[in-house]
């Protein structure tokens, strides 16, 4: 458990020391190794990481849609309004899924069923979960499509997913997730597959919806630009753990973990040109064989002996801020070479 | 170049972080990985063992019995299974066990040869149709539809009857089965060729200036052959049982060739008095078909690129 | 760890273009009917594109989905035949070549593809993949030297030469992209068309591959056509940039001209939509919100293709297609009747 963030009663959603394994024929992959973060009403938490960091798996575990097998939750709790979702029977879990916590995915085309109209799909949860009549549910579907600013919603409610463009399909998926007015929305790479102009539209829409519906959001992404725009707090994930957690401004201004530092340095900036890009050498670790000590040490330009042998503790760097690095304070101050 | 060096050094020790990925170790081809999976599958071993048993039976029947199937003594007619005749004797006094063992050769040989013939035809037609597309595909697809529409058994009977009751050996049967049975496999080949053709690496080869022939043999064939191999192992089972059906109906192999179908045909009239001359060849037939089908299933599972 | 590159001007030798494209058009017919197919329309993927690529430079081509940049790449690699227009490689008509001349061009113009997971034949070893160019063009490397050449190429792109016998699935995405780059380098080309080479890679790996491409360009004097949708990446690597929309180039210029002084409304909108990784810029970014969807390339708007989403659109835009020409607002070609700089834009 993280010493800096004690269990405060009243966190809307809290992931506590979550551990997940994937049992594959090449061995056991330790995908999540003690992930903890929390979300309060109305805020946006960005979970930042690259492939293999475990960011999507955490979201799937929260929603209860983890592929089992090969994935198994082996420890930790996921508390929503104080109740541990992992200990709930499936029937109660289903109450939470969709109604309290909604999710949108990266690829709207595969998340939508091509043989049903979008109106039917949006209305589906309303019919089955809230017992609305078909016409009532369809009316509500039109309302939702208006809410997500799909033009001509009344006519388009009868269209099929393939008749929409990528951005519009994403809006349909957002409408579906909002049908039951969840308090938390998990957005797993919602704009990665979209063009940049459409991305801006969708992120704007999500911001507006959050305010209108007083929703909290977990934004899972690898895009540092999008995060800078919308997030309140950021949790940086690497090899199945949160290696840094900070307020968004503090993180970008002075990152406290070498991985975050490396990520920020390696993105080509629209406003900086002409220099060779700084890189993080090497590759993300094989999760069946996570390196000893600090998992980042093979790629860390500041690695010392202690990093290779001792797992780094969570070093507090201020209010609600920590970094999992032996030399976090030096990194933040920029005193490390 | 120090940055490149550090990349080279660190890449030696770590690899992709996605579960299932592994960059280190000896070179592992897809075939190698498939073999590793097969080894762990008990179905593969059971089926493989059975197939091996039957293949040896077909090639070297003397391994299984020293009794000759033609040493028939009418006075021993229709004896039940005993110490001298493990499976009993049939109406003519022939040892059923010996018949069954020697019968494997014809059945399996016909099965294997017709599968090979069907496979070659399927590959040729499927590759041409899938690769060239256009009117070539249109024509071949129509031919395929026509052949597919011909009921295999009916056509085989008609065809075989035209030879009369002479014993013409196994080749006409092989020919009939192969020429009529290639269609399903051809469809599979065509589909995988079309998929393979669209892969980026085929485009890459084209951009390098590779000729059509090179692309077909080097890039498309190896990637298209896996699904069709599986179809063919299953087809093998089908062909063996079809041959038995043909022989049973008198339209396939004829005596003095020994085959399971012929034996079953001859024994079915007196089933209630003496079931064993029918049961044992039928049982072996079923077991052989089952073994090949199971083997095909296991191979299909191993080649299934789920986690690759 | 950060070194600076030579400014663009210093890397150019001659001013003569190594590739020149004039009015290239590619329409894909839409047909109806099973037995007798009639053409009922066309997807105008590339609708009249002209540009030049000079020796040693990187021309970035940016645009969003449906703009035709991928089709353009396929045309340049002669994977498609154009419906109209011409392209010249070293002064010779690319699409009229055949035989030995075509082989020669294929050696000199190579491509790096987008998806590292499908661009390598999974059943071939890495050594075979990189060595295949030598099998097809045996004159480049005599048989005895091939293995060494392949190992040198692996080393060149930062991979371990001893991994020659491994298979693609044993490598990560970034490493596979390097293998693709090594394959593209085998025949010592002069031009490499990079079709979204880093889009499928993680951010930290993107930087590695981009650095590699830039370093190779410096060392080998390569010219790149760099096609991507990530504007920041394109800015970083390109000398000149062409912006595409619905099959046409709407603006082209040096990287500085396009990114600091865009005059075409679409370019301006595109640039304004790119999120800046700086939370302090929140609220200060003046994002141009484009209305509506991109029109279908099967049915592009008359006149200027962008007019249906453009805030400057007038009647003239529907009637008269604006040519890609120098505009008064800034001396670089822009295809807008009302091309102008944006006041107060933050870049």
| Cα(B32)–Cα(A206) distance, integer angstroms | 48
Query: Nearest-CA neighbor of C120 among A101, B33, B208, A335?
Result: B208
CB C129 within 8 A of CB B204: no
Report the 10 Å Cβ neighbour count for A246: 26
Q: What is the reported pLDDT for B20?
A: 29
Q: How many domains does chain B have?
A: 1
First and final C-alpha spacing in chain B: 33
First and final C-alpha spacing in chain C: 26
Report the 10 Å Cβ neighbour count for C141: 20
- Pairing relation of β-strands A241-247 and A321-323? antiparallel
Say if the Cβ atoms of B12 and C160 lie within 8 Å.
Answer: yes
Smallest CA–CA separation between B306 and chain A, in Å? Answer: 12
Say if the Cβ atoms of A284 and B10 lie within 8 Å.
Answer: no
In the three-class reduction of DSSP (H, G, I as helix; E, B as strand; rest coil), residue B125 is classed as helix
| Cα(C196)–Cα(C198) distance, integer angstroms | 6
Domain boundaries, chain C: 8-334
Determine what percent of chain B is predicted with pLDDT higher than 70.
Answer: 86
B83 touches chain C (CB under 8 A): no
Q: What are phi and psi of A128, to 5 degrees?
A: -80, -35
| Cα(A311)–Cα(A330) distance, integer angstroms | 17
Average pLDDT over residues C230-256: 92
Domain coverage including residue B284 = 30-59+94-303
Query: Nearest-CA neighbor of B7 among C151, A295, C156?
Result: C156
| Cα(C62)–Cα(C252) distance, integer angstroms | 10
Starting at the edge strand found earlier in the chain, the sheet holding A315-318 runs: A101-104, A184-188, A216-221, A44-48, A233-238, A241-247, A321-323, A315-318
Say if the Cβ atoms of B205 and C132 lie within 8 Å.
Answer: yes
pTM confidence score = 0.81
Smallest CA–CA separation between C158 and chain B, in Å? Answer: 5
Say if the Cβ atoms of B209 and C107 lie within 8 Å.
Answer: yes
pLDDT in tens, C322-336: 988 888 888 899 999
| Pair of tokens at residue A114 | 């091509």
B32 touches chain A (CB under 8 A): no
Q: What is the reported pLDDT for C10?
A: 44
Please indicate, yes or no, if residue B19 is contained in any of the structural domains: no
Selected for mutation to probe chain C from B18, B28, B204, B205 (highest C CB count within 10 Å) is B204
Average pLDDT over residues A69-91: 89
| pLDDT beyond 90 at C73 | yes
Residues of A in contact with C210 (CB under 8 A): 268, 277
Confidence class for position A6, pLDDT limits 50, 70, 90: very low
Please indicate, yes or no, if residue B260 is contained in any of the structural domains: yes
Q: What is the reported pLDDT for B229?
A: 80
| Pair of tokens at residue B294 | 């199971």
| pLDDT beyond 50 at C347 | no
Q: What is the reported pLDDT for B167?
A: 61
- CA dihedral sign, ordered C117, C120, C125, C129: negative
Please indicate, yes or no, if residue B80 is contained in any of the structural domains: no
Please, where are the H alpha helices in chain B? 2-11, 30-40, 42-59, 96-132, 134-149, 152-161, 171-181, 183-197, 200-208, 212-214, 221-248, 260-267, 276-303
Residues of C in contact with B204 (CB under 8 A): 111, 113, 119-120, 180, 183
B1 touches chain A (CB under 8 A): no
In the three-class reduction of DSSP (H, G, I as helix; E, B as strand; rest coil), residue B59 is classed as helix
Q: What are phi and psi of C292, to 5 degrees?
A: 70, -175
b/e per residue C282-319 (b: at least 16 CB within 10 A): eeebebbebeebbbebeebbebbbbbbbbeebeeebee
Average pLDDT over residues B103-117: 88
Report the 10 Å Cβ neighbour count for B74: 10
Say if the Cβ atoms of C275 and A228 lie within 8 Å.
Answer: yes
Domains and CATH numbers, chain A: 13-100+182-268+277-333 (3.40.50.300)
pLDDT in tens, B36-84: 878 888 888 999 899 898 888 888 888 887 777 777 888 877 788 887 7
Smallest CA–CA separation between B38 and chain A, in Å? Answer: 13
Greater model confidence, B238 or C333: C333
- Minimum-distance CB partner of A282 among B11, B21, B24: B11
Least confident of A183-187, A194-198, C289-293: C289-293
| pLDDT beyond 60 at B5 | no
Say if the Cβ atoms of B203 and C79 lie within 8 Å.
Answer: yes
Q: Which 8-state DSSP code applies to residue C276?
A: P
Average pLDDT over residues C25-48: 84
| Cα(B124)–Cα(B131) distance, integer angstroms | 11
- Minimum-distance CB partner of C172 among B4, B15, B204: B15
Q: What is the reported pLDDT for C200?
A: 84
**Which residues have CB under 8 Å from C215's CB, separation 6+?**
none
B68 touches chain A (CB under 8 A): no
CATH of the domain at B197: 1.10.3720.10
Q: What is the reported pLDDT for B12?
A: 29
| Pair of tokens at residue B143 | 């031919």
Alpha-carbon distances of B106 from A243, B36, B141, rounded to whole Å: 69, 33, 33
Residues 23-62 of B with CB under 8 A from C: 23-25, 27-31
Determine what percent of chain C is predicted with pLDDT higher than 90.
Answer: 45
B5 touches chain A (CB under 8 A): no
Residues of A in contact with B33 (CB under 8 A): none
| pLDDT beyond 70 at B307 | no
Average pLDDT over residues B122-139: 90
Average pLDDT over residues A264-272: 76
pLDDT in tens, B176-197: 888 888 888 899 999 989 988 8
Selected for mutation to probe chain A from B12, B13, B14, B19 (highest A CB count within 10 Å) is B19
Q: What is the reported pLDDT for A237?
A: 94
**Which residues have CB under 8 Å from C40's CB, separation 6+?**
C30, C31, C32
| Cα(A308)–Cα(A324) distance, integer angstroms | 14
Peptide bond into B256 cis (omega under 30): yes
| pLDDT beyond 90 at B245 | no
pLDDT in tens, B136-165: 998 998 998 888 888 877 887 787 777 666
Considering only the top CATH level, what class is C8-334? Answer: alpha beta
Q: What is the reported pLDDT for C276?
A: 84
Q: Which helix (H) or strand (E) holds A153?
A: helix A153-156
Please indicate, yes or no, if residue B20 is contained in any of the structural domains: no
User: What's CA C209's distance to the chain center, in Å?
Assistant: 16
pLDDT in tens, C181-228: 999 999 999 999 999 999 888 888 888 899 999 999 999 999 999 999
Q: What is the reported pLDDT for B246?
A: 82
| Cα(A216)–Cα(A101) distance, integer angstroms | 9
- Minimum-distance CB partner of A200 among C281, C282, C287: C287
Per DSSP, what are the bridge partners of residue C110? C192
Say if the Cβ atoms of C207 and A279 lie within 8 Å.
Answer: yes
Say if the Cβ atoms of B28 and C167 lie within 8 Å.
Answer: yes
| Cα(B188)–Cα(B235) distance, integer angstroms | 12
B14 touches chain A (CB under 8 A): yes
Q: At what angle do helices A166-178 and A118-130 cross, to 10 degrees?
A: 10
Subunit partners of chain A (3 or more CB pairs within 8 A): B, C
| pLDDT beyond 80 at A235 | yes
Q: What is the reported pLDDT for B257?
A: 81
Does ipTM surpass 0.90 in this model?
A: no
Which chain C residue's Cα is nearest to A275? C4
| pLDDT beyond 60 at A43 | yes
CB A76 within 8 A of CB A34: yes
pLDDT in tens, C251-302: 999 989 999 899 999 999 998 888 888 888 877 777 787 877 788 888 889 8
Say if the Cβ atoms of B204 and C208 lie within 8 Å.
Answer: no
| Cα(C173)–Cα(C134) distance, integer angstroms | 24
B269 touches chain C (CB under 8 A): no
Average pLDDT over chain C, rounded to whole? 87
Q: At what angle do helices C146-156 and C173-185 cross, to 10 degrees?
A: 130
Say if the Cβ atoms of A286 and B10 lie within 8 Å.
Answer: no
């Amino acid at each position: 458990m993280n010493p800096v963030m004690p269990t405060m009663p009243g966190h809307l959603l809290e992931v506590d020391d979550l551990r997940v394994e994937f049992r594959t024929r090449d061995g056991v992959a330790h995908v999540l190794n003690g992930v903890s973060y929390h979300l309060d009403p109305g805020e946006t938490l960005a979970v930042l990481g690259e492939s293999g960091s475990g960011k999507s798996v955490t979201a799937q575990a929260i929603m209860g849609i983890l592929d089992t097998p090969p994935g198994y939750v082996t420890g930790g709790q996921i508390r929503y309004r104080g109740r541990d979702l992992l200990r709930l029977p499936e029937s109660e879990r289903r109450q939470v899924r969709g109604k309290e916590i909604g999710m949108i995915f990266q690829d709207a085309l595969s998340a939508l069923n091509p043989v049903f109209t979008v109106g039917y799909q949006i209305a589906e949860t309303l019919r089955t979960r809230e017992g609305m009549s078909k016409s009532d549910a369809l009316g509500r579907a039109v309302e939702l499509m208006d809410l997500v600013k799909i033009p001509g919603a009344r006519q388009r409610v009868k269209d099929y997913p393939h008749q929409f463009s990528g951005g519009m399909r994403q809006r349909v998926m957002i409408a579906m997730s909002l049908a039951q007015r969840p308090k938390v929305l998990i957005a797993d790479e919602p704009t990665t597959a979209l063009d940049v102009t459409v991305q801006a539209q969708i992120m704007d829409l999500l911001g507006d919806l959050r305010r209108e519906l007083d929703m909290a959001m977990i934004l899972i992404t690898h895009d540092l630009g999008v995060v800078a725009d919308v997030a309140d707090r950021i949790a940086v994930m690497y090899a199945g753990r949160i290696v840094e957690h900070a307020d968004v401004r503090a993180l970008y201004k002075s990152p406290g973990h070498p991985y975050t530092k490396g990520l920020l340095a390696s993105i080509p900036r629209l406003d900086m040109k002409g220099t060779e890009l700084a890189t993080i050498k090497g590759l993300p670790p094989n999760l069946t064989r996570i390196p000893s000590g600090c998992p980042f040490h093979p790629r860390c330009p500041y690695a010392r002996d202690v990093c290779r042998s001792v797992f780094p503790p969570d070093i507090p760097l201020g209010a609600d801020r920590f970094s999992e690095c032996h030399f976090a304070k030096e990194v933040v101050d920029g005193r490390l070479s | 170049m120090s940055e490149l060096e550090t990349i080279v050094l660190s890449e030696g020790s770590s690899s992709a972080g996605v579960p299932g990925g592994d960059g280190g170790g000896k070179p592992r081809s897809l075939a190698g990985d498939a073999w590793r999976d097969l080894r762990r599958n008990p179905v593969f071993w059971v089926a493989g063992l059975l197939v091996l048993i039957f293949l040896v039976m077909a090639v070297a029947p003397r391994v299984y019995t020293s009794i000759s199937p033609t040493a028939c003594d009418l006075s021993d007619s229709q004896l039940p299974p005993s110490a001298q005749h493990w499976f009993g004797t049939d109406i003519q006094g022939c040892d059923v066990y010996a018949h069954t063992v020697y019968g494997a050769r014809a059945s399996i040989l016909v099965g294997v040869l017709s599968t090979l013939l069907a496979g070659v035809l399927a590959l040729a037609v499927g590759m041409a149709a899938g690769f060239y597309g256009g009117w070539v595909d249109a024509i071949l697809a129509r031919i395929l539809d026509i052949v597919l529409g011909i009921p295999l058994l009916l056509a085989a009977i008609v065809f075989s009857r035209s030879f009369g009751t002479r014993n013409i050996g196994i080749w006409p049967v092989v020919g009939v089965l192969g020429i009529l049975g290639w269609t399903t496999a051809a469809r599979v080949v065509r589909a995988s060729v079309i998929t393979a053709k669209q892969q980026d690496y085929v485009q890459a080869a084209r951009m390098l200036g590779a000729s059509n022939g090179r692309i077909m043999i080097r890039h498309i064939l190896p990637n298209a052959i896996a699904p069709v191999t599986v179809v063919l192992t299953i087809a093998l089972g089908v062909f063996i049982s079809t041959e038995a059906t043909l022989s049973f109906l008198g339209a396939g192999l004829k005596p003095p060739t020994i085959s399971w179908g012929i034996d079953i045909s001859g024994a079915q009239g007196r089933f209630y008095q003496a079931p064993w001359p029918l049961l044992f060849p039928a049982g072996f037939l079923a077991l052989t078909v089952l073994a090949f089908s199971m083997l095909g299933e296991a191979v299909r599972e191993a080649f299934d690129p789920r986690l690759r | 760890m950060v070194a600076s590159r030579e400014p663009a001007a210093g890397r150019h030798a001659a001013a003569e273009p190594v590739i020149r494209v004039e009015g290239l058009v590619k329409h894909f017919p839409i047909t109806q009917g099973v037995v007798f197919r009639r053409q009922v329309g066309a997807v105008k993927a590339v609708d009249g594109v002209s540009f030049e690529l000079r020796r040693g430079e990187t021309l970035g081509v940016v645009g969003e989905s449906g703009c035709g940049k991928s089709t353009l790449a396929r045309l340049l690699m002669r994977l498609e035949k154009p419906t109209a227009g011409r392209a010249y490689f070293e002064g010779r008509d690319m699409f009229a070549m055949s035989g030995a001349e075509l082989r020669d061009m294929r050696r000199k113009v190579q491509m790096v593809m987008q998806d590292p997971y499908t661009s390598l034949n999974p059943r071939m070893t890495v050594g075979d993949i990189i060595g295949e160019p030598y099998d097809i063009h045996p004159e480049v490397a005599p048989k005895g030297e091939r293995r060494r050449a392949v190992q040198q190429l692996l080393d060149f792109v930062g991979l371990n030469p001893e991994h020659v016998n491994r298979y693609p699935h044993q490598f990560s995405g970034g490493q596979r992209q390097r293998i693709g780059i090594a394959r593209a380098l085998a025949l010592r080309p002069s031009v490499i068309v990079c079709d979204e080479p880093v889009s499928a890679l993680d951010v930290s790996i993107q930087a590695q591959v981009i650095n590699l491409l830039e370093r190779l360009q410096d060392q080998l004097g390569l010219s790149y056509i760099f096609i991507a949708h990530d504007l920041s990446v394109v800015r970083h690597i390109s000398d000149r940039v062409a912006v595409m929309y619905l099959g046409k180039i709407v603006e082209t210029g040096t990287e500085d001209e396009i990114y600091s002084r865009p005059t075409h409304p679409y370019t301006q909108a595109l640039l304004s939509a790119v999120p800046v990784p700086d939370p302090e810029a929140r609220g200060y970014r003046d994002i141009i919100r484009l209305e509506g969807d991109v029109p279908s390339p099967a049915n592009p708007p008359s006149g200027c293709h962008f007019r249906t989403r453009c805030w400057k659109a007038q009647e003239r835009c529907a009637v008269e297609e604006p040519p890609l020409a120098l505009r008064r607002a800034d001396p670089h070609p822009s295809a807008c009747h009302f091309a102008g700089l944006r006041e107060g834009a933050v870049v």
